[in-house]
Structure 1
Amino acid sequence: MRRRTPYRRLFAATLLVASVLAPVAATPATPVHAASPGPQDGGGYGHDDCPHDGLGPDLTARLDRTIEDVRKQARVPGVVVGLWMPGKGCYVRATGVADKATGRPMFTDTYVRIGSETKTFTVTALLELVDDGLVGLDDPIEKYVRGVPNGHKITLRHLAEMRSGLFPYTSDSSFVHALLSAPERQWAPPEVLKYGFKHKNTFKPGEKFQYSNTNLVLLGLVVEKVGGRPLAEFLDHRVLRPSHLEDTALPDGAEFPEPHARGYTDQTLSGKVEDATDWNPSWGWAAGAMTSNLRDLRRWAEIVATGRLLSPETQAQRLKTLPTGFPGTTYGLGILNTNGWIGHNGSLPGYETVTVYLPERKATLVVILNTDSLVGGQEPSTLLARAITEVVTPDHVYAGAIPPSRGR
């Protein structure tokens, strides 16, 4: 593959529409049992194993081949896929390796850094404050945070919809160099925001879509100020506990629960692949620093897509997605809709995830990878999600994803 500089691709603000790689011969994915789909009406979250042929032998074998084909061609070390389709069954598999040095097989109960899936949690917290009557989506950010360029015209809604016009701090070359020069560094929100604020705004508020982590760091500060406690505590109290997400958290720094797969990235100063497992994701904070696992992401997919923590009115506003400029994918309040699948994806050095829910089928798809290295300019998680949905929901194919700010 052509070598890419970190300045060109670190956490970019682009939408990618994936095309499936040409299939090659491959051995089926190794079956590994995990949580069952619970009641077939989609209402529960059981602890029993998902049967080996949970979707029937033919469809299971087809998924095994499809996933392994994409994994090998995209050079992904390890993959975990969870698919739950009420009325049809479930599919839970791990394939590849969790550690390239030791050859340890990938496993379904790995913890993972979820990158920009963090945004769904931060915006949910904000929307709970809206339901509490403590903030308004059309309040200017200047009301809560001083020093934001054009902050008197940029609203909380603009920030959550990625339509603020604020420059993405992760697209600043000096930030990228500082981050990759010391990936273990601890970052604070004001430190990252200054890299974005030194640039002119890219357009007028509401004018168009531009993915920017700057937006979500600001919303994290709003939640802290209005919620009266650190963001991690507010999320734990108002979002994670009510959702029974026992294995999801926003760490202070590089903390990473065990067990977890090693994560690999080519977002390095040298351009060579490195082990990024212990890199500090604090630079992402409210935009991308959380950790979780398959079990919790499965539960969260339905909660966020159906608005279980929000009033019907607020959830309706959340789901009013707007065009992004990329066919098949629209964006709402911290949430994407890609041909009917609602949720988000995440990517940061070493890991990628996709967590989406299809209301029409009450289906849930979770994809976990231990690399973020692009394939022909595309996210490997997008390639996998697209290939899987082409098999199981050909009328609702995962069209594309929003990778967290890979600078150009």
Structure 2
Amino acid sequence: MDSQFADRMSSVHKSFIREILKVTEDPSIISFAGGLPNPRFFPVSEVAEAAQKVLGECGYAALQYATTEGHPPLREYIAKRYAEKGLKVSPEEILITTGSQQGLDLAGKVFLNKGDKVIVERPTYLAAIQSFGMFEPQFLSVPLHHDGMDADALDRALSEHQVKLVYAVTNFQNPTGITYSSSKRREIADVLKDRNVALIDDNPYSDLRFMGEEVAPMKAFLGDQAIMLGSFSKLVSPGFRLGWICAREEIMEKLIVAKQAADLHSSCFAQRVVHQYLVDNDINSHIEKIRAAYRRQRDTMVEAIEESFPAAVEHTRPEGGMFLWVTLPEGISSLELFGRAIKENVAFVPGQAFFANGGGENTMRLNFSNSDEERIVEGIARLGRAINSMMS
């Protein structure tokens, strides 16, 4: 029966997180597992007004087929936002995608043949492993430190292997929450310059900084060698499934062909509604509300961990984003801990799912954005009991 299917399907598995989320549908379970924005900040009434305006003013066009590249005013808006961060980007260098996840899929289609080598962080974003994995590459994992990818290890990997892509989440990394320092970005750019390799800078969380200083995107250090991914999921709504990929013209031409073959174009109605919402509302004010809430939730989780977890347990202290990373003592399995935690009615993501080449058995990812402070305190207390019972 398996002979019916493509060989690639045997090496790519279901999303570990999606499977875990099925377990957490029970409302009695406090879940730190999903990478979910807090729905309290979805601008429901404002989006309703934007949708009504779009249908009233250009309903026929909004419900018709559209160009693959995306709604021109939305692409212009994104280019303007980049300009505000000091990056000169043309709207023609921006392709609207069905979530930034599609950007990974399109990059895989454009760059990867079976057996090609892709460098990823250790640990890395689980869905990137899954998305690139469809094209049957060989993953090379480079250690991730508190300030970013190990530049020396990256240099060695590039010297020893013919690499097609380097993939990184440089701001508030998923899963660890760490951010690449400015000096680390410069080091990595120095390693990559003059090498025929592209860096995919996956950056859905950059606007969610609630402490510390903003750092320029990798494109500011690396120029056209950097391919940028962005998303409206964390700022407006994940339900729209709208993101974008930004790349130089030569790459963009290939990406457009790949997208035409995939879905013709992302929802033009959703694009027009999001653009109308952005035009009619103060997005920076909206972002500040999200930042303030996530800062409180992050601080609550950090304080609860330090109160409830054993001293031997380590954790990151993110300056933004939605996640923090926990490292248990060697020999303590987070997968086994998950079973105990569910009995305590609390859930997380065991860390080994984020390692492309194995490892991470004693790590786990916690999401702080989708729970209020009261549930965070109670959930971390439950998780602390499970950890203490294992370690004793």
Q: Same fold (TM over 0.5)?
A: no
TM score, norm. by length of structure 2: 0.27
TM score, norm. by length of structure 1: 0.26
Higher helix share: 2
Structure index of larger Rg: 2
